[in-house]
Chains A and B, each alone.
Chain A
Amino acid sequence: MTVLSALKTVNLTLDGREIIAHEGDTVLEAALTAGIDIPRLCHDPRLKPVGACRLCVVEIEGERGLLTACTMEVAEGMVVETETDRLAAKRKTVLELILDDHRVTCPTCDKNGDCALMDYSYRYQADQFAFGGYKPGPVEPNFATGNKAIAFDPQLCINCGRCVRICDEVVMASALTFKMRAASVEVTTPFDMPLNETSCVLCGLCITTCPTGAMYDRAALGQGQIKDLEKVQTVCPYCGVGCTIELNVNRANNRIVRVTSQVGSVPNDGNLCVKGKFGFEYVHSPERLTTPLIKENGEFREASWDEALELAGRRLRELRDEHGPDSIAFLSSCRCTNEENYLMQKVARTAGATNNVDQCATTCHAPTVAGLAATFGSGAMTNAIDEIKDVDTLFIIGSNPTEAHPIIGLEMKKALKKGAKMVVCDPRKTWVAEHADIHIQHKPGTDNMLINAMMRHILEEELHDAEFVEGRCENFEAFSKNLQDYTVAEAAELCDVPAELIMRAAEMYAAGEPSSIFYTLGITEHTSGTENVQNLANLAMLCGQIGKRSSGVNPLRGQNNVQGGCDMGAMHGDFPGYQKVDDEVVRFKFAEAWGVDIPTNKGGRVTDFIEQAGDGVLRGFYVFGEDPVLSEPNQAKVIKSLENLEFLVCQEIFMSETAKLADVILPATSFAEKDGTFTNTERRVQRVRKAVEPPGQAKADWEIICLMSTAMGHPMSYDNAGEIFDEMASLTPSYGGMSFERIDEVGLQWPCPTPDHPGTGFLHAGSFTRGLGLFHEIRFREAAELPDDDYPYILSTGRTLYNYNIGNMTQKSDAIRQKQSKNFVEMHASDAERLGVANDDLVTVTTRRGEVTVKAVVGDRTRPGALWMPFHFVDQPTNRITNDAFDNITRTAEYKVCAATVKKSAEVPAAT
C-alpha cells in the first residue's frame, strides 16, 4: 500500500542528463517520464515487462552486454546510453528480422497511423527485404475467424505476446496463448477453439494493446486508416464507471469507425469492456428516429419540429393549468448529460411549475442516495476507483463487478494480484464469488439478517474500532442494543449459510487494513433497500473502515450518468447538489436565479407516476431517454397505466416500447452527437463531446428541452452546453469550482467548491459530511413476496456483461449479439433434473404478474430453489413478471426477490 511520495528517489544519468526516478522504476519508465522515447514493441505500462522484442536494449556503464531497459530496475548512480550507433545498428537488424516475418502492407493497413512497427522501422530505416522478404500464407482460418468483434491477422502478428499477457494479467481470462515454438510460434486460443467458445469476454484489450494491425476491430476493417480518423475524446455511455474513450470518426462519411482509449486515461487506464469497445453501432443504426412523430388515429405520422413542439408544449401546459401541478410529471434520463438533467428539473420547476421530476435512480440506487445521505450526510461512493487496487480486504455484497462494472472489476483484480483478501456475499456464484476467500451464498432478501449477525459477532469479539465509534459517530447505544436481537446462529438458519462463514467473513472485514465495501443493486433493489444501505454504512462505521484511503462504502452506480442525474436534482425533493426543495434559503436562491416561484407540491418518483397514471391522477407525462415499459416491474400494469394518460411525449433515439404509447415523439441525440458532461460513480465529472452529426432532423436533447420549455411558456435558450454547466455550477456548491475548461482533459471529483480546488478523492476524512456518522437500528424485514406452494422458487433479476439494461443500445451491435441475443433463465442443476429440463430447453417462468418462455441455462450458478434472469430483452421481457413492491423510502422496486414457478415448455426452440 505504498503511496508515491513514500518511495525513495534514485538518481541516475540518462543520455548525459541527470534524472530523478523512484525506487522500483525501470530504466524505461524513468526514460519515458524524462521524455526519452526508447523504442519498444512488447511493452505496455499495464503489463509486467518481459523483454521480448529486444528493441529497448541500452548500454549501461559497468554492465557487460546489452540490457533491456524495460526489465532493468534503476539503481543509484547508474549511467545509461539509450541511443548510440551500436544500439541503432542492433535495433535496425532486429527490426529487419521482424519485418521479414510480417506482411508489410502499410498502404492498405488500417493500423497505418498508429503502428509502432512502422514508426520504428522508419526511425531506424529498416529494410523489409534485408532477409529476402516475407512470403505470405493464408490468413484465415484462425481462432477469430467469423468473430464479429475481434479479427486476427497472423501475418501481421509480430509475436510480441502483449495480447496473451493482457488477457492473462489484466483481464485474468487467459483466453489466448502461444502454440508451437521457435519460428512456428503463433498466437491462438487453447486448442484453436473459436474465440466465442473460450473464456474470452470480448473486452478487446488484446486489440488495444496490439502494436500492429494483427488484432483489430472486425467492424473497423477497411473503414479508414487510423491516420485518417479523427479521435474525439468523450465518456462511455454505458455503465457508471465512466471510462474515457476516443471515438474514432471517419469524417468522409460521418461515421464512428471504432472506439479506443489511451493507456493512462482516467479512470480506466486504456481498458474497456465489450460494451464500451464494441457497443457503439447503435449510434448509426437505421432504426434511429430522424423526424418528430405525432400519433394520429393510432398511427404515427411525421411532423415538423414546430408542429410537434407546439402540440406537446401546449398540451402539457393545458393539463397543468387545468388539473394542477400533480397532474404532469417529467422523467429525466440518467443516460443523458448533466446539462440535460439540470434543464429537465429546471423545466419541471419553471415551465412545469411542479416538483414532479425523477430519473432512473429510483429504479436502482435511490436507496443509496437516501441511505447514505441519512448516515453520512452524502449519498455517493465514498472513495475513488484508483484506490481500489490498494484495498486490503474487498467486501463485495450484492454486486457482480466483473460483469456489471468490468473496469472496476479489473481494478479489483489488481488488488487480488497484490494479495488482497476478498469476501463475497451473493446468492449466485459469480466470478468474484468463485475467486473469493469466503463466498457467502445467502438466500436472496436476507441481507440485513446477515449484516446484523456479522456486526453482532464483531461487537462480541471486540473487533470493532471503539475509538472511531466513540469519536466520529452517534446513536451507538441504540444501535448496539438493536443488535442484541440478532445472532449468528439465527442468521445461519435464515440465510442458509454456515455460521462459521458468517463469523469468519465478519472477522476478515473488521481486520482489513483497510477494508472496503462494494455493493450494487443486490442491496438496493429490495423493499428494504434503503435500510440495507444504512446497515452497510453501520458496518463500515463500526469497524472504522471509512474516511480513509481505499476504504469506505462504495455503491457502484449503474448508468453512465445516474450519479449526475441525482446530482442535478432531477428528484422531487432535491435541487442540484442535493439542496433541499423545502429549505427556504435554497428555494429563494433558485427562485432568484430562475426568475420564477418555486413550486411547493411534494412531487413523487417514477414508480409513483406510473401508479398515479393508472389512477388518473397523473395526466401528462414528459418522458426523456427512459423506457419504463421495459425497466419498471409488472409490465402489464405499467402499460395499462401509461395508456391511461391523456398525453405522453417521449424524447428518444429509438422507437422504444414506451415511445410506442406516446402521442408525440421527439427525435434526440446519442452521447456521440452532443456536448456536455457525465458524472461517474466516483463523483467524477467528465466531458462528453460531439463526434458526429445526428441523423436526419434529430436535435441535441438539451436543445429540445429548451424548445419544450419555450413551448410550454417559459422561454429558455442557451448557446452551448458550457453555458448550461456554468449556470448550474453557480448554483451548486459541490460543482462550484468546475467548468468545461477545468475538466477539459481529466474530470474532477466533487465536492469541488472553488476554481482552484483540486476535487475530492475520498469523502468523510476527519468528519462526515453531516458531522458525526449516524448509526441506524435496522430491523430485518422479509421480502414482499416469498415463495409458497404455488410459486416455490425465488426469482432474482440482474445484468450480464454483454448487454446493458433494456438492451436498446447493445442489441444493435453485431459484436454483442453474437454472444447474447435472447433472454434466458439460470437454474440450478438439481431443480432442472427434477423438472426434466436440460440445458438450452425452453421453459416457462410464471409469477403472479405473468409468464415468459425462455431458454434454460442449467448449472450451479444459482442456489437450488432460485432462478435468475437478465432484463435485457424486449422479447419475453423479464419485467413482465417482476414484482411491483417498493422500498418504503425511495419507492425502488424489489427486482431481486419475487416468487415464481417454472416448468418445461411445450414449445420447441426456434432455430437461431
Chain B
Amino acid sequence: MDNTTCIVDIARYFIAFCADESCGLCAPCRLGTVQLEEILNRITGGKGTLEDLDKLESLGEVVQQTSLCGLGQTAPNPVMSTLRHFRDEYLAHVVDKTCPAGVCTALLPVEVTVGKEK
C-alpha cells in the first residue's frame, strides 16, 4: 500500500469487515466494532474530531482486552496501529479536514467554476 492509499480508509475498511463478521456473542465485539466503525465513518466523512481519536484508542483497547475470541481481540488492531504510526494522517482528517491520499471523497477539495455558456 503506497501513497495512493488512505490509511484512515484502510483502517475503516478492516474494522467494518470485522463489525460485519462478528458472530454477535459477546458485547464488546458485537457492539464495540460497530462504534469504532461509526467513528471512522465520521472521520472519513469529514465530521471527525480530536476527541474521536481518543475514543478510538480507549474503546479499541476495551474491545481488544475484553472480547471473547480472536476476532474481537484483533479487530481493533488496524485502527490502533495506524493511529500510532500514522497519526499525522488522522490529524489531517480531523483537524485539517483533508485526505492526503486523495481518497476520502468528503474531504476532497471541491472547486466550483461558474462558466458562461458560449
So, do A and B actually touch in the complex, CB under 8 Å? Answer: yes
Q: A52-B68, A182-B21, A183-B19 are in contact. Are A90 and B62 (CB under 8 A)?
A: yes
Let me know if B46 is at the binding interface, CB within 8 A.
no
Shortest CB-to-CB span from A285 to chain B, Å, is: 43
Report whether over half of chain A's contact residues are helix, strand or loop; otherwise say mixed. Answer: loop
Shortest CB-to-CB span from A647 to chain B, Å, is: 68
Distance between Cα atoms of A831 and B62 in the complex (Å): 65
The stretch that binds A, out of B4-12, B23-31, B99-107, B110-118, is B23-31
Residues A158 and B35 in contact, CB atoms below 8 Å apart: no
- Chain B residues in 8 Å Cβ range of A68: 68
Distance between Cα atoms of A183 and B65 in the complex (Å): 19
Distance between Cα atoms of A600 and B91 in the complex (Å): 102
Shortest CB-to-CB span from B45 to chain A, Å, is: 15
Residues B22 and A66 in contact, CB atoms below 8 Å apart: no
Q: Which of B24, B25, B27 has the most CB of A within 10 A?
A: B27
Q: List A residues 144-182 near B (Cβ within 8 Å).
A: 158-159, 161, 178, 180-182
Residues B24 and A94 in contact, CB atoms below 8 Å apart: no
Give the residue of B23, B34, B62 whose beta carbon is less than 8 angstroms from that of A94.
B62
Q: List B residues 40-93 near A (Cβ within 8 Å).
A: 58-59, 62, 65-68
The stretch that binds B, out of A95-103, A534-542, A710-718, A728-736, is A95-103
Residues B22 and A53 in contact, CB atoms below 8 Å apart: no
Residues B24 and A54 in contact, CB atoms below 8 Å apart: no
Distance between Cα atoms of A195 and B47 in the complex (Å): 45
Distance between Cα atoms of A161 and B23 in the complex (Å): 13
Q: A54-B66, A97-B35 are in contact. Are A181 and B27 (CB under 8 A)?
A: no
Residues A182 and B26 in contact, CB atoms below 8 Å apart: no
Residues B26 and A53 in contact, CB atoms below 8 Å apart: yes
- Chain B residues in 8 Å Cβ range of A181: 21-24
Interface, chain A (partner B; CB < 8 A): 50-54, 57, 65-66, 68, 89-90, 93-94, 97-98, 100-101, 131, 158-159, 161, 178, 180-185
- Chain B residues in 8 Å Cβ range of A158: 27
- Chain A residues in 8 Å Cβ range of B34: 182-183
Let me know if B20 is at the binding interface, CB within 8 A.
yes
Closest to B18 in A: A182
Closest to B23 in A: A181
Closest to A158 in B: B27
Closest to A180 in B: B24
| 15 sample A-B contacts, Cβ–Cβ < 8 Å, listed by A number | A52-B25, A52-B26, A54-B26, A54-B66, A97-B35, A98-B31, A131-B35, A159-B24, A181-B21, A182-B23, A182-B24, A182-B33, A183-B24, A183-B30, A183-B31
Distance between Cα atoms of A98 and B27 in the complex (Å): 7
Distance between Cα atoms of A93 and B67 in the complex (Å): 12
The 7 lowest CB-CB distance pairs between A and B, nearest first, are: A185-B24, A97-B31, A182-B22, A93-B62, A54-B66, A181-B24, A183-B34
Closest to B35 in A: A131
- Chain A residues in 8 Å Cβ range of B65: 65-66, 90
Residues B59 and A51 in contact, CB atoms below 8 Å apart: no
Residues B27 and A97 in contact, CB atoms below 8 Å apart: yes
Shortest CB-to-CB span from A816 to chain B, Å, is: 34
Distance between Cα atoms of A184 and B35 in the complex (Å): 14
Shortest CB-to-CB span from A474 to chain B, Å, is: 61
Q: A97-B31, A182-B30, A183-B30 are in contact. Are A90 and B24 (CB under 8 A)?
A: no
Residues A185 and B30 in contact, CB atoms below 8 Å apart: yes
- Chain B residues in 8 Å Cβ range of A97: 27-28, 31-32, 35
Shortest CB-to-CB span from A870 to chain B, Å, is: 41
Q: A97-B35, A182-B22, A183-B19 are in contact. Are A90 and B27 (CB under 8 A)?
A: no
Give the residue of A53, A93, A101 whose beta carbon is less than 8 angstroms from that of B58.
A93
Residues A54 and B68 in contact, CB atoms below 8 Å apart: yes
Residues A93 and B59 in contact, CB atoms below 8 Å apart: yes
A-B contact sample (12 more), CB < 8 A, given A98-B31, A182-B20: A51-B26, A52-B26, A53-B26, A66-B65, A93-B58, A94-B28, A101-B31, A178-B24, A181-B23, A182-B21, A182-B30, A183-B34
Closest to A131 in B: B35
Give the residue of A51, A98, A131, A159 whose beta carbon is less than 8 angstroms from that of B68.
A51
Residues B35 and A100 in contact, CB atoms below 8 Å apart: yes
Shortest CB-to-CB span from B9 to chain A, Å, is: 21
Distance between Cα atoms of A63 and B20 in the complex (Å): 30
Q: A51-B68, A94-B66 are in contact. Are A100 and B59 (CB under 8 A)?
A: no
Distance between Cα atoms of A181 and B67 in the complex (Å): 16
Distance between Cα atoms of A90 and B67 in the complex (Å): 11
Closest to A89 in B: B62
Closest to B31 in A: A97
Residues A100 and B31 in contact, CB atoms below 8 Å apart: yes
Q: A52-B27, A98-B31 are in contact. Are A182 and B19 (CB under 8 A)?
A: yes
Shortest CB-to-CB span from B99 to chain A, Å, is: 24
Distance between Cα atoms of A66 and B61 in the complex (Å): 12
Distance between Cα atoms of A673 and B28 in the complex (Å): 48
Distance between Cα atoms of A57 and B22 in the complex (Å): 20
Shortest CB-to-CB span from A182 to chain B, Å, is: 4
- Chain B residues in 8 Å Cβ range of A53: 26-27
Shortest CB-to-CB span from A580 to chain B, Å, is: 63
Closest to A53 in B: B27
- Chain A residues in 8 Å Cβ range of B20: 182
Distance between Cα atoms of A93 and B59 in the complex (Å): 7
Distance between Cα atoms of A97 and B66 in the complex (Å): 12
Distance between Cα atoms of A59 and B24 in the complex (Å): 24
Distance between Cα atoms of A356 and B30 in the complex (Å): 69
- Chain B residues in 8 Å Cβ range of A93: 28, 32, 58-59, 62
Closest to A71 in B: B68
- Chain A residues in 8 Å Cβ range of B58: 93
Distance between Cα atoms of A66 and B67 in the complex (Å): 9
- Chain A residues in 8 Å Cβ range of B23: 181-182
Q: A54-B68, A182-B20 are in contact. Are A159 and B28 (CB under 8 A)?
A: no
Distance between Cα atoms of A184 and B31 in the complex (Å): 10
Q: Which of B21, B23, B30, B68 has the most CB of A within 10 A?
A: B30
Distance between Cα atoms of A704 and B67 in the complex (Å): 63
Shortest CB-to-CB span from A214 to chain B, Å, is: 15
Distance between Cα atoms of A180 and B35 in the complex (Å): 19
Distance between Cα atoms of A50 and B27 in the complex (Å): 12
- Chain B residues in 8 Å Cβ range of A51: 26, 68
Shortest CB-to-CB span from B17 to chain A, Å, is: 11
Shortest CB-to-CB span from A389 to chain B, Å, is: 28
Shortest CB-to-CB span from B31 to chain A, Å, is: 4
Closest to A97 in B: B31
- Chain B residues in 8 Å Cβ range of A54: 26-28, 66-68
Distance between Cα atoms of A97 and B30 in the complex (Å): 9
Distance between Cα atoms of A184 and B21 in the complex (Å): 11
Distance between Cα atoms of A180 and B22 in the complex (Å): 10
Closest to B69 in A: A51
Shortest CB-to-CB span from A663 to chain B, Å, is: 66
- Chain A residues in 8 Å Cβ range of B32: 93, 97
Closest to A185 in B: B24
Q: Which of B21, B24, B65 has the most CB of A within 10 A?
A: B24
Q: Which of A50, A178, A182 has the most CB of B within 10 A?
A: A182
Shortest CB-to-CB span from B28 to chain A, Å, is: 6
Q: Which of A51, A183, A185 has the most CB of B within 10 A?
A: A183
Shortest CB-to-CB span from B101 to chain A, Å, is: 28
- Chain B residues in 8 Å Cβ range of A94: 27-28, 62, 66
Shortest CB-to-CB span from B98 to chain A, Å, is: 26
Residues B30 and A66 in contact, CB atoms below 8 Å apart: no
Shortest CB-to-CB span from B23 to chain A, Å, is: 6
Distance between Cα atoms of A52 and B31 in the complex (Å): 12
Q: Which of B22, B31, B33, B34 has the most CB of A within 10 A?
A: B31
Shortest CB-to-CB span from B52 to chain A, Å, is: 12
Distance between Cα atoms of A97 and B59 in the complex (Å): 10
Distance between Cα atoms of A131 and B65 in the complex (Å): 19
Shortest CB-to-CB span from B26 to chain A, Å, is: 5
